[in-house]
Amino acid sequence: MIAILRGDFRGREVSLARALLESGVRALEVSTVSPEYALVIRRMADALGPQVAVGVGTVLNTEHVAAAADAGACFMVAPNTNAAVIANARDAGLAVFPGAYSPTEILEAMECGADAVKLFPAVTLGPDYVRALRGPLPGVRLIPTGGINFENISRYFEAGAWAVAVGSELVRSDESDLDGWANLRQRARRFVELVPKRNA
């Protein structure tokens, strides 16, 4: 499960990341729409090192890739498939998860070098769409994103999702950390409990 961090965390990103890590979340995606996203990535990567995979999301151009790679990101997520961005990210040593919607777009993403494909917006497609795609595209790693919640996360995995990405259902930028991120920790643990345990 990838936790999407989007918004202004006003210097609280390391404590937030640590709360997620301690609750079992091992992959964090910092969106480029967040203020000083590269600095946020650097602070989390420096503080938590190999314990957590820190990546960049909402990647729209090669400038985003360069800034995130320099900051220590290890993967990138995009809302679309852009061959130049994918090639640039692979050259920078990042795992690449571009966005796609239709079978044609998914195959295009794979042909461009995607390691997995962000299926977005998943909420308009549902788990049955993932299951249907697994028939003709059994080898494609799909990451449903958008609208993943406690009620449907298990259905996406049962349908064949390789991973899921969870945004505001998990991480809320206006939440206080005065309580040690207690509410965040509770939500994170609940999500993690619903993620299948596997080696691959």
Q: Which of 13, 22, 29, 63 is catalytic?
A: 29
Radius of gyration of the chain (CA): 16
Measured CA to CA, the distance from residue 50 to residue 165 in angstroms comes to: 20
Residue 29 appears among annotated catalytic residues: yes
Measured CA to CA, the distance from residue 173 to residue 179 in angstroms comes to: 15
Residue 197 appears among annotated catalytic residues: no
Does the N-terminal peptide bond of residue 127 adopt cis geometry, omega within 30 degrees of 0? no
Q: Which of 63, 108, 118, 197 is catalytic?
A: 118
- Cα 51 to Cα 39, 44, 176, 184: the distances in Å are 19, 10, 24, 19
Q: For the residues of 111-151, what is the DSSP string, one character each?
A: HTT-SSEEETTGGGT-HHHHHHHHTT-TT--EEEBSS--TT
Q: Please report the sign of the dihedral spanned by the C-alpha atoms of residue 186, residue 73, residue 41, residue 29.
A: negative
Q: Which residues are known to be catalytic? A: 29, 118
